[in-house]
C-alpha cells in the first residue's frame, strides 16, 4: 500500500493505492513523470490547470473555496483479517465491539466507525520511530479525536512476549496528547461496559466541532443531498487528482505505455461524471508539454477506453484492462486482499496535513532541456498553469532558459522585475530538490508568502527567527525530501550538522539548483 497527499480543493488530501505491484521502471519517461508528479503535488490544495478550469471553473477563486468537505460513510467497513481475536475459540471481542457496539450504542457518534483504524502501530500514530514501540499496535485509533480504544484480555495480547506494558503505552501516548480508553473482555461479556462507552462519548464531545464535518457528510451521502456545486467543486477535483497520481504510478511501473491503448475497467462507488476522462486528458497535456520541452516534438498520445460502473454487482475484473475499485468516501481496509487483480484507491484515515503529509519530492537526475527561443510558448504554458501569469517580463526568459540548460547563471533584473520567478520555475521543472541561499530574512518571508498565495505550499524557510523546535522540524522535513525548495540563510552552512543534512539530501535525492 502506497500513501499520498494531493488535492485541488479542501477535502481529504490523503489517500492510498493498494495492490499496485512494483514492476520494471519506465526509465525513458521517468524524469518527465517525476516532474509532472511534483507539479501536481506542489500544494495542498493547489490550483487546477487551465484545461481543468475550463471544464470545472476557477474553483480557487470561489468565496467558499476554503470551506471543508470531509469524507465519511455510514457503511460498515469490511475488515476481513486485520481485527484480531481467538481463532480457536471463535471469539472476536474487538470485532464485535467494532461491528455491533459502535453502531448500536454510540448514538450520534456511531458514524466514527468508518474513521477508526484497527491494529495500527504506535509509531505510525505518533509519526516517530521509537524503538521501544516497534511492532506495538493498538486495537483502534481515531485520529480526528486523538483517541485509542483497547479491548483488554484478548488471548493474542496475553501471548505476546515482547508486548510493552499497558501503563507504559498509555503514558507514552498521553504525553503525545492521545487518550486511551480500555474495555476488558469481561466487561464485554457481562455487559458492564456502559461506563466506558460514556467515557468515550465525553471525549468525543471535545472534538465535536471537527467530527461534525464527518457527520454532516454521512447524512448528505445517506440522503443523497450532495449538491451539484459540491460535486463539481469538491468531489470531482479530488477524484481527478487521485486518478492522475494513480496514472503516473501506472506509467512509472509500465502498467501503461505510450505505445499501446489504455483500457480501464472501473468500479466507482460515487457517481462522478467523467472524472477519469478529465484526469487522463489533463495529465496528457502536462506530459506532452514537458516532452516537447525536452525532446522538441509532441508525444504520441495513446487511445484510451474507459468502462465505468457504480454497481458492484456489475463490476467484473478482466485481464484486458486495468481493474480499479475507486472511492472517495470509503477508507481503506484489508478487503483488497480478496481481489489482488484489482487496484484499490481509498481515502486515508489521517486527514490533517500537519499531522500526516505523505508528500516526498520525486527525484532523479536533472534534465538538460536545451531550451531555445522556439520553446518560449511551452514555457509560457507552465508559467500560466503554475503561476497564473500569461507572459514573461523582460529579461526573465533568457535567465530561465540558461538555468534549464544547466548553465551557471547570474541574473540581473531591476527591483520588482520578477527575479524570484527566474529560479522558482526552473526548480519546478526539474525532478529534484532545490535550495535558495538568501541573506535577507524579509525577502525570504515575502517570497515564501507570495508562492504560498499561488498555492505552491510544499516549500519552507530556515531563519534565526524560528524557534529551535521549528528549525529542527523543517530541517528534518528538508532532509526527508518533503519540500520542493527551501530558503536558507548563509550562516546555516557554518554549522557542521546542517552540512551533514545537505550531504544526506545529495546522497538520497538529487539537487538541481542551489
Q: What is the CA radius of gyration of the chain?
A: 25
**φ, ψ for residue 118, nearest 5 deg:** -85, 150
| 358 vs 481: CA distance, rounded Å | 10
Which pLDDT score is estimated for 155? 58
| 240 vs 242: CA distance, rounded Å | 5
Contact in structure between 461 and 445 (CB atoms under 8 Å): yes
Distances, alpha carbon 465 to alpha carbons 22, 439, 461, 475, 495, in Å: 44, 13, 10, 14, 16
In this structure, the strands spanning 434-437 and 485-488 are: parallel
Domain spans, the chain: 1-356, 373-507
**Fold assignment, 373-507:** Rossmann fold (3.40.50)
| 484 vs 458: CA distance, rounded Å | 6
**φ, ψ for residue 141, nearest 5 deg:** -135, 135
Closest alpha carbon to 287 in 452, 60, 56, 51 = 51
Task: List, in order, residues 6 or more apart from 68 with CB less than 8 Å away.
Answer: 10, 11, 213
Can you say how many angstroms the Cα of residue 286 is from the centroid of all Cα atoms in its chain?
20
**φ, ψ for residue 58, nearest 5 deg:** -85, 75
Q: Which runs of consecutive H residues, i.e. helices, occur in 328-420? A: 376-387, 396-404
Cell of 249: 504510478
| 98 vs 119: CA distance, rounded Å | 12
Beta bridge partners of 18: 344
| 34 vs 32: CA distance, rounded Å | 5
Task: List, in order, residues 6 or more apart from 430 with CB less than 8 Å away.
Answer: 35, 366, 367, 512, 513
| 332 vs 77: CA distance, rounded Å | 8
Q: What is the dihedral of CA 486, 487, 492, 496, to 10 degrees?
A: 20
Which pLDDT score is estimated for 86? 78
Contact in structure between 346 and 18 (CB atoms under 8 Å): yes
Q: What does the angle CA 135 – CA 138 – CA 140 come to, to the nearest 5 degrees?
A: 140
DSSP letter for each residue of 191-234: T--HHHHHHHHHHHHTTHHHHHHHHHHHHHHHTT---HHHIIII
| 315 vs 292: CA distance, rounded Å | 38
**Consecutive sets of 10 residues in the chain, 514 residues long: mean pLDDT of each?**
97 97 83 98 97 98 94 92 85 94 96 97 94 94 97 68 82 97 94 96 97 91 88 98 98 94 98 96 99 96 97 96 98 97 98 86 95 98 98 96 92 85 96 93 94 96 92 93 94 91 90 81
DSSP letter for each residue of 293-340: HHHSS---PPPEEEEEES-GGG----TTSEEEEEEEEEEP-SGGGG-T
- 182 half-sphere exposure, CB direction, 13 A CA radius: 9
Helices (H) and strands (E) in the chain, counts: 19, 13
Task: Please report the beta strands in 35-127, taking only residues with DSSP state E, as ranges in sequence order.
Answer: 117-121
pTM: 0.94
Cell of 290: 514537458
In this structure, the strands spanning 14-18 and 2-5 are: antiparallel
Cell of 246: 494513480
Which pLDDT score is estimated for 237? 98
Closest alpha carbon to 284 in 249, 247, 255, 321 = 247
| 352 vs 367: CA distance, rounded Å | 34
Which pLDDT score is estimated for 162? 61
Amino acid at each position: 500500500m502506497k500513501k499520498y497527499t494531493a488535492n485541488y480543493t479542501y477535502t481529504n488530501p490523503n489517500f492510498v493505492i493498494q495492490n499496485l505491484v512494483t514492476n520494471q521502471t519506465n526509465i525513458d519517461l521517468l524524469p518527465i513523470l517525476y516532474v509532472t508528479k511534483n507539479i501536481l503535488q506542489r500544494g495542498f490544495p493547489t490550483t487546477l490547470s487551465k484545461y481543468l478550469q475550463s471544464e470545472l471553473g476557477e474553483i480557487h477563486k470561489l468565496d467558499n473555496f476554503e470551506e471543508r468537505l470531509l469524507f465519511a460513510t455510514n457503511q460498515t467497513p469490511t475488515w476481513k483479517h486485520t481485527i484480531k481475536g481467538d481463532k480457536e475459540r471463535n471469539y472476536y471481542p474487538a470485532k464485535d465491539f467494532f461491528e455491533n457496539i459502535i453502531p448500536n450504542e454510540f448514538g450520534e457518534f456511531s458514524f466514527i466507525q468508518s474513521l477508526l483504524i484497527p491494529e495500527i502501530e504506535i509509531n505510525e500514530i505518533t509519526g516517530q520511530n521509537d524503538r521501544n514501540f516497534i511492532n506495538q499496535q493498538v486495537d483502534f485509533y481515531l485520529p480526528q479525536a486523538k483517541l485509542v480504544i483497547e479491548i483488554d484480555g484478548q488471548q493474542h495480547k496475553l501471548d505476546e512476549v515482547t508486548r510493552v506494558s499497558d501503563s507504559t503505552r498509555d503514558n507514552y501516548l498521553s504525553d503525545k496528547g492521545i487518550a486511551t480508553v480500555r474495555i476488558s473482555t469481561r466487561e464485554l461479556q457481562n455487559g458492564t461496559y456502559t461506563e466506558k462507552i460514556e467515557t468515550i462519548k465525553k471525549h468525543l464531545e471535545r472534538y465535536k466541532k471537527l467530527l461534525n464535518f464527518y457527520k454532516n457528510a454521512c447524512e448528505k451521502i445517506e440522503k443523497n443531498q450532495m449538491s451539484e456545486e459540491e460535486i463539481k467543486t469538491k468531489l470531482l477535483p479530488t477524484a481527478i487528482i487521485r486518478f492522475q497520481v494513480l496514472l503516473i504510478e501506472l506509467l512509472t511501473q509500465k502498467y501503461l505505455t505510450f505505445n499501446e491503448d489504455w483500457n480501464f475497467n472501473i468500479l466507482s462507488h460515487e457517481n462522478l461524471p467523467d472524472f477519469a476522462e478529465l484526469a487522463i486528458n489533463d495529465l496528457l497535456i502536462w506530459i506532452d508539454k514537458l516532452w516537447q520541452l525536452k525532446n522538441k516534438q509532441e508525444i504520441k498520445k495513446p487511445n484510451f477506453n474507459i468502462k465505468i460502473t457504480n454497481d458492484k454487482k456489475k463490476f467484473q475484473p478482466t485481464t484486458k484492462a486495468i481493474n480499479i475499485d475507486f472511492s472517495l468516501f470509503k477508507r481503506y481496509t484489508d478487503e483488497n486482499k480478496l481481489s489482488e487483480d484489482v487496484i484499490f484507491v481509498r481515502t486515508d484515515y489521517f486527514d490533517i496535513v500537519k499531522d500526516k503529509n505523505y508528500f516526498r519530492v520525486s527525484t532523479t537526475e536533472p534534465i538538460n532541456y536545451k531550451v531555445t527561443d522556439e520553446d518560449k510558448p511551452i514555457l509560457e504554458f507552465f508559467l500560466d498553469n503554475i503561476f497564473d501569469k500569461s507572459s514573461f517580463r523582460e529579461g526573465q526568459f533568457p535567465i530561465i532558459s540558461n538555468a534549464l540548460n544547466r548553465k551557471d547563471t547570474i541574473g540581473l533584473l531591476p527591483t520588482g522585475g520578477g527575479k524570484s520567478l527566474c529560479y522558482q520555475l526552473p526548480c519546478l521543472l526539474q525532478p529534484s530538490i532545490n535550495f535558495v541561499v538568501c541573506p535577507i530574512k524579509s525577502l525570504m518571508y515575502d517570497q515564501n508568502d507570495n508562492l504560498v498565495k499561488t498555492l505552491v505550499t510544499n516549500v519552507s524557510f530556515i531563519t534565526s527567527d524560528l524557534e529551535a523546535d521549528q528549525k529542527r522540524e523543517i530541517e528534518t522535513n528538508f532532509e526527508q525530501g518533503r519540500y520542493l525548495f527551501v530558503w536558507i540563510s548563509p550562516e546555516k552552512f557554518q554549522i557542521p550538522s546542517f552540512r551533514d543534512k545537505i550531504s544526506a539530501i545529495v546522497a538520497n535525492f538529487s539537487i538541481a539548483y542551489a
